[in-house]
């Protein structure tokens, strides 16, 4: 993330976006727009604000004095606190809607109906607006009304949870935001397509995606087989490839082979590991023999790789061009130079951000300027500023607060 050179404006400079969502998948689409210069106003409930703010304080979350999820996902926005259940709060929102280019929401449908936030409610106020809807299970069908999060709709419902487990083991849960963040990129792409069409037609439109759709898409290699009623092989017949298991080193780390498939690649692995004796072992000498005795072959590899540390093996395998990867632990990421080299993490440009680096979104266009990470706002930090831009006087803003319509 770098500051934009003064000679070139940010791509979305002048684009007005209303982020009327919570948690991750919807709001992060707005974050990406903000990174490229859009003026994003996040609408929050007075008081607590977006409940996502509290995630790092949960008992199962990594403990830090920094609200690490908020600085990553809410950066480069302004926050306005409005009580949308009140007439005055809704009128303030309508002023935002009338001036915006993009309106993003992932509120459940019952909430949208109650607060009159559906596309049909807002489109008459601004026919050029792009209305971006994020749901758990899609816009229609028997489960459209259900609330859900990525651990359920993206992970469990789509077969991913069931497939990503060892034979005979119970599946694991997803980590926070694992499906939300890629889904946000899909919503962002949908918004861009609608903005391009608006350039051609002058008309706004509704765009939408869901956690379910993105989870099925993530699992498309297997999901396409499933919807065709393909016959899946049993998962309890033992390993069929050395690439499908993990190998523990002497210091307790795990190594993963990848793309060790051909006869020559297997030979290279064994020579680098000092197990050239296995090249002439009749159980493994030919690919067909190795497949027939795959369990024994993997046992030999496990015994060998368990004799040295991960650092030693990685140095050896890199030197010999053997495709092996270290299974990263979370503590490894802070020292992974590949992240900074590819702008996956970058220093913030705002000294108020309490972090040396911030995770970047994965979209890169060479030569296109973007915002560095700026302060992620407090609840309603910009209420007065935004309402003033909408034409409210200081007295009117004070009146909204006194009536509980703004915070």
**pLDDT tens track for 122-135:** 999 999 999 999 99
229, 214 contact by CB (below 8 A): no
Q: pLDDT category, 237, cuts 50, 70, 90? A: low
Instruction: Please report the pLDDT score of residue 2 as a whole number.
Output: 45
In 249-302, the DSSP E strands lie at 254-257
138, 148 contact by CB (below 8 A): no
Q: How far is 90 from 132, CA to CA, in rounded Å?
A: 19
Domain-by-domain residue ranges, the chain? 16-221+365-402, 242-333
Helix-strand-coil split of the chain, %, nearest 5: 40, 10, 45
Q: Which of 59-73, 233-247, 266-280, 335-349 has the lowest mean pLDDT?
A: 233-247
The percent of residues in the chain predicted with pLDDT above 70, rounded, is: 98
Given a cut of 80, is residue 167 above it in pLDDT?
Answer: no
Q: pLDDT category, 25, cuts 50, 70, 90? A: very high
* Rounded mean pLDDT, 386-392: 97
Given a cut of 50, is residue 4 above it in pLDDT?
Answer: no
Q: Which of 2-6, 311-315, 372-376 has the lowest mean pLDDT?
A: 2-6
Q: How far is 153 from 140, CA to CA, in rounded Å?
A: 15
Instruction: Please report the pLDDT score of residue 388 as a whole number.
Output: 97
Choosing among 2.60.40.10, 3.30.1540.10, 1.25.40.10, 3.40.1190.10, the CATH entry for 242-333 is 3.30.1540.10
* Exposed / middle / buried, residue 97 (Cβ in 10 Å: 0-12, 13-18, 19+): buried
Helix (H) or strand (E) holding 133: strand 130-135
φ, ψ at 135 (rounded to 5°): -130, 170
* Rounded mean pLDDT, 145-170: 92
Instruction: Please report the pLDDT score of residue 1 as a whole number.
Output: 44
Neighbour order of strands in the sheet with 324-326: 246-248, 254-257, 324-326
Closest CA to 313 of 264, 252, 267, 240: 252
Of residues 100 and 260, the one with the higher pLDDT is: 100
Instruction: Please report the pLDDT score of residue 241 as a whole number.
Output: 82
Given a cut of 90, is residue 6 above it in pLDDT?
Answer: no
Computed over every residue of the chain, the mean pLDDT equals 94
Q: pLDDT category, 263, cuts 50, 70, 90? A: confident
* Rounded mean pLDDT, 142-162: 96
pLDDT tens digits, 315-360: 999 999 999 999 999 999 999 999 999 999 999 999 999 999 999 9
328, 255 contact by CB (below 8 A): no
Instruction: Please report the pLDDT score of residue 15 as a whole number.
Output: 98
* Rounded mean pLDDT, 137-147: 96
pLDDT tens digits, 53-75: 999 999 889 999 999 999 999 99
Given a cut of 70, is residue 32 above it in pLDDT?
Answer: yes
pLDDT tens digits, 92-101: 999 999 999 9
Domain 16-221+365-402, architecture per CATH = 3-Layer(aba) Sandwich (3.40)
Given a cut of 80, is residue 5 above it in pLDDT?
Answer: no
Q: Which of 26-30, 288-292, 331-335 has the lowest mean pLDDT?
A: 288-292
Closest CA to 158 of 215, 210, 214, 209: 215
Instruction: Please report the pLDDT score of residue 234 as a whole number.
Output: 82
279, 270 contact by CB (below 8 A): yes
């Amino acid at each position: 993330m770098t500051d934009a050179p003064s000679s070139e404006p940010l791509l979305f400079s002048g684009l007005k976006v209303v982020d009327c969502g919570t948690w991750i998948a919807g709001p992060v689409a707005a974050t990406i727009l903000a990174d490229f210069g859009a003026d994003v106003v996040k609408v929050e409930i007075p008081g607590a604000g977006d409940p996502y703010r509290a995630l790092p304080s949960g008992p199962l979350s990594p403990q830090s004095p920094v609200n690490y999820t908020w600085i990553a996902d809410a950066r480069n926005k302004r926050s306005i606190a409005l009580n949308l259940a009140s007439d005055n709060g809704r009128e303030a929102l309508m002023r935002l809607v009338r001036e915006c280019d993009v309106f993003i929401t992932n509120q459940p449908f019952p909430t949208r109906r109650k607060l009159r936030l559906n596309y049909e409610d807002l489109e008459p106020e601004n026919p050029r607006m792009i209305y971006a809807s994020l749901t758990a299970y899609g816009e229609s069908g028997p489960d459209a009304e259900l609330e859900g999060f990525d651990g359920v709709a993206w992970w469990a419902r789509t077969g991913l949870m069931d497939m990503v487990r060892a034979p005979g083991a119970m599946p694991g849960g997803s980590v926070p935001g694992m499906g939300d963040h890629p889904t946000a990129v899909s919503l962002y792409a949908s918004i861009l397509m609608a903005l391009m069409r608006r350039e051609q037609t002058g008309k706004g439109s509704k765009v939408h995606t869901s956690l379910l759709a993105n989870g099925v898409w993530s699992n498309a290699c297997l999901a396409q087989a499933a919807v065709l009623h393909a016959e899946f092989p049993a998962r309890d017949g033992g390993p069929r490839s050395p690439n499908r298991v993990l190998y523990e080193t002497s210091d307790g780390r795990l190594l993963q082979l990848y793309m060790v498939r051909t006869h020559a690649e297997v030979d290279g692995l064994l020579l680098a590991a000092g197990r050239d004796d296995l090249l002439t072992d009749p159980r493994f000498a030919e690919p067909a023999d190795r497949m027939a005795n795959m369990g024994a072959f993997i046992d030999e590899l496990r015994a060998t790789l368990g004799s040295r540390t991960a650092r030693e093996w990685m140095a050896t395998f890199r030197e010999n061009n053997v495709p092996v990867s270290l299974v990263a632990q979370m503590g490894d990421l802070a020292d992974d130079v590949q992240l900074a080299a590819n702008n996956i993490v970058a220093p913030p440009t705002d000294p108020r951000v309490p972090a040396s680096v911030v995770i970047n979104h994965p979209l890169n266009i060479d030569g296109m300027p973007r915002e560095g990470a700026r302060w992620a706002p407090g609840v309603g930090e910009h209420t007065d500023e935004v309402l003033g831009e909408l034409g409210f006087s200081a007295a009117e803003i004070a009146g909204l607060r006194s009536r509980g319509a703004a915070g």
